[in-house]
Copies of this chain bind each other. A is one copy, B any other.
Amino acid sequence: MKSRQLRNQNGERTFVLVYEPGEAFQEPLVSLAQENGLGVSQFTAIGAFRKVTIGYFDRERRDYVKLPVHEQLEVLALNGNVTVGEDFIPKILAHVILGGRDGSVRGGHLFDGEVWPTLELLLNESPDHLQRKFVPEIGLALIQM
């Protein structure tokens, strides 16, 4: 993944990230967030995955159902945010919508994906921090305000 800072105005930065064929989605983004001490950020990406794991949150089980997909799919929309966890390590939350050969669409919570040939991500930072905390009765880490 190659990244470039497009702007920095009073601590609000915009980054563009361009992924290389075969790279994972999560790790390079977490690294960029850590190395740059990103505040709360929002990102959006388009491109394609050759392999991806999506999920659906099962209310009864208080946990995600995972759906691995081994198929070349267009990334039609990938929206997410960067916050920090209780350990102050950056947490990525992302949802994805994927397009197939016949125009059919699938999607879910994005666990991780393998990019091919590229993923173009734009990230906008705000000069503030938001923290997630695990809420046991729900089963998810929710933003604390």
Contacts and interface: CB of A to CB of B under 8 A. Distances in A.
Interface residues of A, number: 65
B118 A142 contact: yes
Interface in A100-128: 100-109, 116-118, 120, 122, 126-128
A107 B97 CA distance: 9
Nearest to A47: B95
Contact of A77 (B42, B79, B81): B79
Per DSSP, are chain A's interface residues mostly helix, strand or loop, or mixed? strand
Given A106-B105, A117-B142, A128-B7, A56 B74 contact: yes
A143 B79 contact: no
Contact of A142 (B9, B18, B40, B72): B18
Given A6-B127, A108-B103, A140 B117 contact: yes
A128 B4 CA distance: 10
Interface string A1-40: 0111011011010101010010000000000000000001
Interface string A76-87: 110111000000
A20 to B, nearest CB: 9
A10 B54 CA distance: 40
Contacts of A89: none
